[in-house]
Structure 1
Amino acid sequence: MKPVIILRPEPGARETAARAMKLGLIPRLCPLFEARPITWDAPPAKRFDALLMTSAQAARLGGPLLSRYRRLPAYAVGHATARAMEEQGFEHVTEGHRDGSAIAARIAADGHAHVLHLGGTTLARIDSGPLAIDRVAVYTIGGRPDAEIDPHLEPGAILLVHSPRAGSRLAELIGPERRGSLHVIAISPAALTACGLGWSSGQAPELPDDERMLALAARLCE
Structure 2
Amino acid sequence: MTRGLPLIVTRPDPGGVTTVDRARALGLDARHMPLFAAHSLAWAAPDPSDFDALLITSAQAARLAGADIGRLASLPVHAVGAASARAAAAAGLSVAVVGESDAQHLLDAMTSQGIWRILWLCGRDRSAFDPRGAALVPLVCYAVDPIEPLAGWEELIAAPAVLLAHSAHGAARIAEIVGAARKHLRLIAISAGAAAAAGEGWGAVAVAGRPDDAAMLAEAHALCHKGRK
Scaled by the length of structure 1, what TM-score is found? 0.92
8 Å CA contact retained: 2:13, 2:34? yes
**Secondary structure of the structure 2 residue equivalent to 1:93:** strand
* Aligned amino acid, residue 35 of structure 1: A
2-structure distance, mates of 1:83, 1:29: 23
2-structure distance, mates of 1:190, 1:112: 24
How many residue pairs were aligned? 221
Return the match for 1:112 from 109, 112, 115: 115
2-structure distance, mates of 1:102, 1:199: 26
Query: Which is further off, 143-152 or 35-44?
Result: 143-152
1:68 maps to 71
1:12 maps to 15
1:168 aligns with 2:146: no
Query: Quick one: percent identity of the two aligned structures?
Result: 38
8 Å CA contact retained: 1:51, 1:116? yes
Residue-by-residue CA offset, 1:138-161 (whole Å, 9 max, x unaligned):
001101135442143353211111
Q: How far off its partner does 1:56 sit?
A: 0.6
1-structure distance, mates of 2:27, 2:164: 16
2:32 maps to 29
1-structure distance, mates of 2:83, 2:190: 13
**Secondary structure of the structure 2 residue equivalent to 1:51:** strand
* Aligned amino acid, residue 198 of structure 1: G
**Secondary structure of the structure 1 residue equivalent to 2:164:** strand
> Alpha carbons of 1:118 and 1:212: their partners in 2 closer, same or farther (altered >3 Å)?
same
Q: How far off its partner does 1:57 sit?
A: 0.6
8 Å CA contact retained: 2:55, 2:120? yes
**Secondary structure of the structure 2 residue equivalent to 1:86:** helix
1-structure distance, mates of 2:102, 2:37: 22
2-structure distance, mates of 1:74, 1:103: 11
1:157-196 matched pairs, under 5 angstroms: 157-177=161-181, 179-196=182-199
Scaled by the length of structure 2, what TM-score is found? 0.89
1:71-150 matched pairs, under 5 angstroms: 71-145=74-148, 147-148=150-151, 149-150=153-154
